[in-house]
Amino acid sequence: MNTPATALAIDDLHFTYGRNHFEIAIAALRLEPGEQVLLTGGSGTGKSTILQIIAGLVDPRRGTVRVAGKEMHALHGAARDRFRGAHIGMIFQTFNLLQGFSALENVLAALMFGELPRHEHRGHALGLLKSLGIAKPDALVETMSVGQQQRVAVARAVACRPALVLADEPTASLDPENSAAAIELIQRTCSESGAALLCTSHDPAMKARFPRVESLDDLRRPIATGTGAGA
Amino acid sequence: MNDFTIIRRSLAARKLSTVFTSLSVAVAVALMLVLFMMRDSGRAAFERGSGNMHMLVSADSDPLTAILNSVFLAAPPRRPLEHAKFEQLAAKAPWEYFIPTQIGDSYRGLPVFATTGDFFTKFKPGPDETWRLKSGRFFDKDFEIVLGFRAAEATGLKVGDKIALTHGMPKTRAQMQEEGISGEQPAPHVHEEYKFEVVGILEPTGGAHDRALITGITSAWILHAHDRREKEEHLRDAGAGNKEEEHGHEHDHDHGHEALTTEADLIDSDKKITGVYARVMTRPGSDSSAMIPVVFSQMRTDPTITVAQPTQEINKLFAIVGSVDQILIAMAAVVAASSGISILLALYNSMEQRRRQIAVLRVLGASAGRIFRLVLAESLLLGAIGAAFGVVAALIGARIVASEMKARLGLVIEPSIAPLMGVYVVGGAILLAGIAGLLPAFVAYRTSVAKNLRPLG
C-alpha cells in the first residue's frame, strides 16, 4: 500500500524582492497529509508571499517546494497552473470570490480546473455548499452576507479535494467571535476533505486553535531533522 | 460551468459597455450589408428588367429617364409617341420585334402595362427565359388582363376576377414636389365603364413587370378614347345648353353618356404609345448583331425621339451610383474600424476592473494561455453579437430603403443577403473584433497574479 506523499515539503527556500532586498528564507518545512499548521509572523514579514511561492504564483530565488510529492517550481506554464488547480486550494482574507457569479458557479469554477470528472461537478459542488450551510447556492455572491461568502470561499478551496489548503490571513477582517467560528469552519472542512492546512495569521489568539504553530523567524534556522518545530 | 459561462458573466457585468460596443459593430455590419444588398439587388433588378431588348424608343427627354419609365415602370412618360411615328419607325429597320407599350393607368397603385401579344411571345424577361403562367392564360381579347406575380400577391386577385382601372398612376413624392402638390394624392378617376377580366397570373421573373398588370394596348386606347369622347360630348352639351338658354328652352340633359367606345371609335390621336421595346434581327441563338450600332445610330438622328440602349444606360447609372457607393462603403469601413477600436477600448478599460478576477481564475488553475483565449473569445463574441444584430438591422434597413426607392423612384428592388457576401461581412466583423481583442487579451495574459490578489507582505 502506497503511503500518501507529504502534503508540503519546503527545503532551503530563499526569496528576495524590492530595492531593500527584503528576504524570506525557510530552511525546511513539512506538512503531512491532513496536518494543520499555523504560520505566524508580523505584518510585512512575507507570510502571504510564502503562500504564493508554495502555490507556484511566485518563483523563489532558490530552494524547492514539493506539494503532494511534486516539485512545484519544476513545472512550468499551464502544467503548473493545472497542478495548482488540482492539488492546492486557497482561501483569502477578502475571499476573492468571482463577482457576478453565484455561489454554485464559484465552486464550479474551481472544479473546471480540477481533476474531478465533469459529470460529478454539479452534484459535488451542491453537496459541499449544502454541508457548509449555503441554502441558496444560486444566489450571487455579492448579495450574500460576509459569513456566507466565507463559506463559499472555503467550499471553493476544498472543491477539487486538494492535498493542501493555503489560508492567507482568513480571519484578519473579522471580530474575535466570528474569527473563531471562521477558523473552526476552515479546520473542520479541511479535516473532512483530508487536506493539509497551512494558515497564516499575525493574530496571537490563533495560536491556541492549531495543533502546530510555526513562526517565520524560527523557520529561518536550519533544522537537523528536516521537520518544523512543534507548537 | 464552462468558459462560455465566464465570458457571459463578464459581458453581463458590463452591460452598458457590452450593449454599446455590440451596437457599434451592428451599425457597421448593417451599413455594409445594406450597401452591398442595395447595390447587388439594384443591379440585378436593373439587369433583369430590360430582358432581351436591344433598345427602347420613346419620347422621353433623355435615355435614362426613358429606361426608368418604360422598362422599370417608374412613372408614365410625359410625352407619348404618336401612332404614325411608331409606324414610321417600325418600317425603318429589320426589327425582330418592335413592341408598342403604354403605361399611364394603374390598379391599387400598381402600374398597368399595356402592350401587344408580342410582348409575351417575343420579348424575353431574361436570357433564355420565356414568360410562364402560374395560372390561366395570356390575354387574347380586349379587356382581358394578366397579372404579374407580385401584382397578384399584392392585390389578392385571381383568375376570373373583374376589375376597373384607375386613370393615371399615383404620383411619386418627387413628382408631387415637382408639380407643387402638397398633402394627399389627387382623387383618382376610375374607368368604371370598362371591367377588365383577370385571365392569367405570371410566374415571377425578378423584373419590374412582376408588379404590373398587363393588358392589350387597344384596351388602354379605348379607355382613353372614351374619356376623349365624353369630354367632347360635354363640350358639345355645354355649347348646346348655352344656345338653348339663349332661346329659353328647357331640355333633359341625359344624352346617353353610357354609350361605350369600341375599337371602331379610335382615331390616330387615341393610339398613344409611351415606349417601344425593340430588338434587331439576330442570327438564331445569338444575342448580338452588327446591325445594332448601325440601327441605333440611325435612330438617334431623329430628334423627335429618344433611343436608349438599356445596358448602356444601366452601366451609366451604376457609374454614377458606383462612386457614391464607394464613398459609402469607405464610410462603412471607417465605422467598422471605429467599432473595432471601441471593442478594444471597452475590453482594455475593463482589464483594470478584472485584474482580480483574472488573478482568481489563475489561482483556481486557469493558465495564462487560457485567460488569453477567454478574453479573445469575449471579443469575438462581442463581434458576433454585434454582427447578428447588424444582419437583422440590415434586413429591416434594406426593406425601408427599398420601399423608399419604390415610393420615390418607382423602382422595385428586392434586397436579400447573398450567402457569400453575408459570410464576408459577418466574418470580417468577427475577425476585426478578434484583432481588437488581441491587445486586451495580451494584457490579461500578462496580469500578475501575486500583485492582484493582495499586496505582498
With contact defined as beta carbons under 8 Å apart, do B456 and A200 qualify? no
3-state class (DSSP) for residue B338: helix
Residue A84: list chain B partners with CB under 8 A.
363, 365
Smallest Cβ distance to A110: which of B6, B364, B456? B364
The Cα–Cα gap between A217 and A45 comes to 9
Separation of alpha carbons B218 and B225, rounded Å: 10
Strands (E), B108-250: 110-115, 133-136, 144-147, 162-163, 166-167, 189-190, 196-202, 213-216
Amino acid at B127: P
Are A108 and B370 inside 8 Å of each other by CB? no
- Give SS3 for B184: coil
Neighbouring-strand partners of residue A23: A16
Counting Cα atoms < 13 Å in the Cβ hemisphere of A44 gives 2
What are the cell numbers at A138?
444560486
pLDDT for A227 equals 43
Residue B189, helix vs strand vs coil: strand
Q: What is the ipTM of this complex?
A: 0.88
Residue in A81, A94, A141, A169 to test binding to B, most B beta-carbons within 10 Å: A81
Q: Which three cell numbers stand for residue B194?
A: 370598362
Distance of CA B151 to the CA centre of its chain: 14
With bands split at pLDDT 50, 70 and 90, how would you rate the model's confidence at B186?
Answer: low
Phi-psi category of residue A100: left, alpha or beta, with phi > 0 → left and psi -120 to 50 → alpha: left
| Residue A59 pLDDT > 80 | yes
Nearest chain A alpha carbon to B450: A57
Please report which helix (H) or strand (E) contains residue B170, including its range.
none
Cα gap B276→B101, rounded to integer Å: 6
* Paired strand residues for B216: B115
C-alpha span between B42 and B318 (Å, rounded): 9
Question: Does A55 lie at the interface with B, CB-CB under 8 angstroms?
Answer: yes
CB contact under 8 A, A113 and B365: yes
CA–CA distance, A127 with A121 (Å, rounded to integer): 10
Give the tens place of pLDDT for each residue, B18-68.
898 899 889 889 988 888 887 777 777 677 778 889 999 999 889 988 988
**pLDDT tens readout for residues B323-376:** 777 887 788 788 888 888 888 888 888 887 788 889 999 999 999 999 999 999
Q: Is A87 on the interface with B (CB under 8 A)?
A: no
- Among B150-164, B229-243, B390-404, top mean pLDDT goes to B150-164
**In the Cβ-directed half-sphere of A6, how many Cα atoms lie within 13 Å?**
12
Q: Are A96 and B359 an interchain contact pair (Cβ–Cβ within 8 Å)? A: yes
- Whole-angstrom CA distances from B85 to B80, B89, B250, B265 are 10, 6, 46, 20
- Model confidence at B136: pLDDT above 80: yes
Report the residue of chain B nearest A52, measured CA to CA: B450
Distance between A20 CA and the closest CA of chain B, angstroms: 14
Cα–Cα–Cα angle for B105, B110, B112, rounded to 5 degrees:
40
Is B226:B204 a contact under the CB 8 Å cutoff?
A: no
CB contact under 8 Å between A17 and B456, yes or no, is yes
| Interface A:B, Cβ pairs < 8 A | 92
pLDDT more than 90, % of chain B: 35
Cβ-Cβ contacts under 8 Å, A46 against chain B = 456-457
By the 8 A CB rule, do A195 and A89 touch?
Answer: yes
Residues of B in contact with A155 (CB under 8 A): none
Does residue A216 contact residue A40 with C-beta atoms inside 8 Å? Answer: yes
Contact (CB<8Å) B367/A81: yes
pLDDT of A205-219, one tens digit each?
888 999 999 988 777
Residues B68-126: tens digit of each pLDDT: 889 888 888 888 999 999 999 999 888 999 999 999 899 998 999 999 999 999 999 87
- Residues from chain B contacting residue A201 (CB–CB below 8 Å): none
Give, as one character, the DSSP assignment of residue B144: E
Q: What are the DSSP calls for B88-111, one per residue?
A: HHHTTS-EEEEEEEEEEEEETTEE
Q: Could you tell me which of B451, B351, B358, B443 has the C-alpha nearest to residue A57?
A: B451
Exposure of B148 by Cβ count < 10 A (0-12 exposed, 13-18 middle, 19+ buried)?
buried
Closest by Cβ to A49, choosing from B364, B368, B456: B456
DSSP lists the bridge partners of residue B136 as: B200
Task: Please give the residue of chain A at the shortest CA–CA distance from B449.
Answer: A57
Contact yes or no for B450 and A49 at CB 8 A? yes
Pick from A134, A118, A108: nearest CA to A189:
A134
What is the rounded radius of gyration, in angstroms, for the C-alpha atoms of chain A? 17
Q: Pick B454's closest partner by Cβ from A58, A93, A110.
A: A93
**A131's grid cell:** 454541508
Query: SS in 3 state form for chain A?
Result: CCCCCCCEEEEEEEEEECCCCEEEEEEEEEECCCCEEEEECCCCCCHHHHHHHHCCCCCCCEEEEEECCEEHHHCCHHHHHHHHHHHEEEEECCCCCCCCCEHHHHHHHHHHCCCCCHHHHHHHHHHHHHHCCCCCCCCEHHHCCHHHHHHHHHHHHHCCCCCEEEEECCCCCCCHHHHHHHHHHHHHHHHHHCCEEEEEECCHHHHHHCCEEEEHHHHCCCCCCCCCCCC
Of B155-169, B176-190, B345-359, the one with minimum mean pLDDT is B176-190
CB contact under 8 A, A78 and B367: yes
- List the single residue in A58, A96, A113 with the smallest CB-CB distance to B366: A113
CA-based nearest distance A3→chain B, Å: 26
The Cβ-side half-sphere exposure at B418, using a 13 Å CA radius, reads 12
Compare CB distances from B365 to A94, A105, A114 and report the shortest one's residue: A114
Strand locations in B156-291 (E): 162-163, 166-167, 189-190, 196-202, 213-216, 275-280
Q: Is residue A86 over pLDDT 80?
A: yes
Nearest to B456 among A48, A84, A110 (CB): A48
| Chain B: closest CA distance from residue A43 (Å) | 7
Which residue type, as a one-letter code, is found at position B368?
A
Residue at B145: amino acid letter: I
Kindly state the helix (H) or strand (E) to which residue B260 belongs, with its residue range.
none
Q: How confident is the model at residue B274 (pLDDT cuts 50, 70, 90)?
A: very high
Contact across the interface for A49 and B369, Cβ inside 8 Å: no
The domains located in chain A, with CATH, are: 33-60+72-215 (3.40.50.300)
Cβ–Cβ below 8 Å for B5 and A44: no
